[in-house]
A and B are shown apart, each in its own frame.
Chain A
Amino acid sequence: MAESTPAFEVVPLEKGVTLHHRRSDRFKTEYVRVFLRAPLDAYQAERQLFAAMMGRGTRARPSRRELAAHLHHLWGAGYGISVHRMQDRQVFALKASTISGRWLPGRPDNLRELLAFLGEGLDGPARDANDRLDEEVFEQERRQLLVDLAGRRNNKSRWAMIRLREELFGADHPLVRPMHGTQEEIEAATQENAIALGMDTMLHGEADVFVVGPCTTKQAEKLVRKHLGLGERKKERHRKVEMPTMRKRVRSVRETDAVEQGRLVMGFRHPNWTGKEDRTLCAIADTVLGGTFGSKLFKNVREKHSLCYEISSQFDPGHGVLFVSLGIESPNRDAAIKAVKKEVRDLCEGRLEADEVEMAKLTMLSAIEGVVDSPTGMIEFFYQRHLQKRREQSLDAIARRIARTDMGRVPDLLGDLRLDTVFFLDREDAGARRAAS
């Protein structure tokens, strides 16, 4: 039975600043997350560089060594800054955690120290009296960002997915552009722009602060107000990303690389998706298709046809796109496409077995019930829901919604889902191997 009280107590601190607090004494660790919103524009390289510079030092601890030494002193406190694409926007995430003082000699007030440290972080990276970053350090982070950009090719499954998305929507689409920025953008980024854009988000981006720990909401509010100093800011004016129109005919792209295994990714799209469709129903349908060991793809494509080891699906309910990804041998490409298409068609036309639906719902209900064991999971889950403006505030309400969702509506919702693009990352020597076999 999932808990019926709201998962987080929500306290508006200022205009555009909200505290989400969850009191829990069952963990050894206390967690704080600060999320700050920015538009999904073309200034990704600058924001990434700003975030990287925040990880290199603060005004009070201007070098990475000093910063790391402080985190070690706090019994291995975790600290990281990243910039993500979430629900058609960019989000800065400052993540920090520390061992609760109850378990340590002298019972130190680690949460207070951690929030004070995050307060330093929100003041932006270390700068000199002229508000300038250390040029050398900035160049080091530019170099690292270029390495990260090039390194996207190293994980072949992820690279195949990136290439599919480029083929689906176009390489310059806001949902596809590299989160690091392009090579040209990274090379052209200046520290002035990075500071201006980054500090604009720190000072004016709509902020959500999540705290999970044994303190009361009042105590958390007091600590956050005192140490984070997040002033009033404008409410975000969120713009939904425009999606390109669907293809009339399926596009198939094959590229080769020095790989041992081919990576097949398929993108299915819905022509009239608004983004306001029932997300719970979509999530259950996705779980039926590829979310468990008993899912359609796992049972039939992997176990029955032995076509692959890895197979998964991922539905993007914001844009009506279904991705299916699998690792296969080159000669199995056509058989795999056919098998996946059959499973997707069965799903979309409502050919769902009662036990498949029950299994999917139970899997999701267990995940909902058990999410309380993972503070970071809770925070991510509820922040995503907060961005989507979902109504249910308690796990029990979410669970009830899953349980009562009528899967008979699947054909109405997903019936028009069509295969749009297939991308296959093949072995360089696949042709030769086929000829020889």
Chain B
Amino acid sequence: MKWRSEVSETIGDELLISKTSSGLPVRIIRRPGMAWTSALLAVDYGSIDDQFVAPGRAKARKVPAGIAHFLEHKMFEKAEGDLSERFSAKGAQANAMTGHQMTGYVFNCTSDLEEHLETLFTITCEPYFTPELVDKEQGIIDQEIRGYDDHPGWRAWRALLEGLYHKHAARVDIAGTSKSIRKITADLLHLCHGAFYVPRNMVFTLVGDVDPEAVGDQVDELARRFYGAGRQPVAERVIVPEPETIKKARTRLEMSVSMPITYLGFKGPMGITKPKQLLDLDAAMTLFFEVLLSSAGPLHEELYAEGLITDDFNWSDTVEPGIAYAYVGGKTPDPKRLAARVEAAIADQLAKPLDPTRLEGARRRTIGDFIRSFDSSDSLTWTLAESHFQRWKLFDWPNVLADIGERRIRKLAATMLAPDRTVRVEVVPHRKGS
């Protein structure tokens, strides 16, 4: 395999980039001295890909909500049993995760890398679905959904996305609903697997103390064995147009919580797909929130002193191709007052320059977080996959954070934080018997 390399100006680490003969992209970061090796096979396919034209078909098909997650669960099961045990039998740890845009299968091992790679590819590339196994999994996933439904933070986040989006599939739970998963069949799982689990729609990433040539050769051989050497067609996603407006400004949920929880959600601009735009918006939001909301600033101090926020006050932004949103919130005795204070502070900060000392502190902190992330091989494999699918360069991130100007930060933040695209979710204590 031919390799290309990118080297980080900040920390000197090297990212090796290649592609197998069957078109599977490969990304490796060597970390000499590390005991664990983390390897991830990820698919550019997540819960939002619920409408598509499968290869060789003429018509678009809508599949039940939660099928990408269901598929991820079922990939471990083969005729000979649950293959995750092969990892456990050698002391390795395996896991899988489905998000809005990506599904990934990962393992961490300290030995037997070749054998684990073989298992990883068998799990991911060789479907085995029977009606009995699908039926059994429905019960397990139903319990998973119900378990999440008792987490107030999760429920608030779900309600927030339902409020922000009219039609975008992100408004539906990644795992689907108890009802939607009952519609999933073995045939539909085959359809989705064939449509998206093809080499050029996937990426293999690895972080560890390995010989990249040897790993590359094995991955090339495995990809060829499962897919052949030719290019395989990928499903064509159906993009449902999403209005720029919000769907529902206020949502109130009753749950068994000790104190109300409130989140303000902000709908960002739709349809951003260019890598530079994604990185710039993400950097702008990260720095804007850090300057305005962190405990290094006066707003946090005031809100805490007034008892309007607690230790769990938090914020985040998500900027991915085709979807961008942000949220701020946490526990509060007075959701309305907290929301009003945060909205006013955002409007005020958008209109005046960010404090230069706090902005410098925010830049240092976020660049520090980036450097620190290289100490976790596992999470780095996911970041590598994300950067590949979203087509941005991993080592560009600290430079973007360092270089983005104050005015540009506010200008971009304003596109995300428009008052007319803001929703509020309140989770309030459940009244017995209601």
Interface residues of A (CB under 8 A from B): 26-29, 63-65, 67-69, 71-77, 97, 99, 103-104, 136, 140, 143-144, 147-148, 150-156, 257-261, 292-294, 302-303, 306, 308-310, 327-329, 355, 358-359, 362-367, 369-373, 375, 428
Contact = CB atoms under 8 A, between A and B. Distances in A.
B149 A261 contact: yes
Contact of B368 (A26, A99, A140, A308): A99
B150 A293 contact: no
Contacts of A358: 89
B331 A76 contact: no
A27 B35 CA distance: 12
A360 to B, nearest CB: 9
Contacts of B357: 69
Interface residues of B, number: 72
B139 A306 contact: yes
Interface in B287-301: 294-298, 300-301
B258 A151 contact: yes
Contact of B301 (A64, A150, A365): A64
Nearest to A364: B91
B395 to A, nearest CB: 13
A294 B257 contact: no
Q: Which 3 A-B pairs have the closest CB atoms?
A: A72-B361, A76-B368, A362-B91
A72 B36 contact: no
B364 A136 contact: no
B305 A144 contact: no
Interface string B80-109: 001011011111111000000000000011
24 contacts: A26-B31, A29-B375, A63-B301, A64-B300, A65-B295, A65-B298, A68-B294, A75-B371, A76-B364, A76-B366, A97-B372, A151-B259, A154-B258, A258-B255, A261-B146, A293-B82, A293-B87, A293-B88, A303-B82, A359-B85, A363-B93, A365-B91, A369-B110, A373-B35
Contacts of B358: 69, 72
B310 to A, nearest CB: 5
B147 interface: yes
Contacts of B254: 258
B257 A72 contact: no
B365 A329 contact: no
A75 B256 contact: no
Contacts of A309: 140-141, 143-144, 147
B34 A72 contact: no
B371 A99 contact: yes
A65 B304 CA distance: 12
Contacts of B149: 260-261
B82 A261 contact: no
A28 B91 contact: no
A310 B145 CA distance: 11
Contact of B147 (A29, A261, A370): A261
Nearest to B369: A76
B269 interface: no
A335 B268 CA distance: 48
Nearest to B294: A68
A248 to B, nearest CB: 34
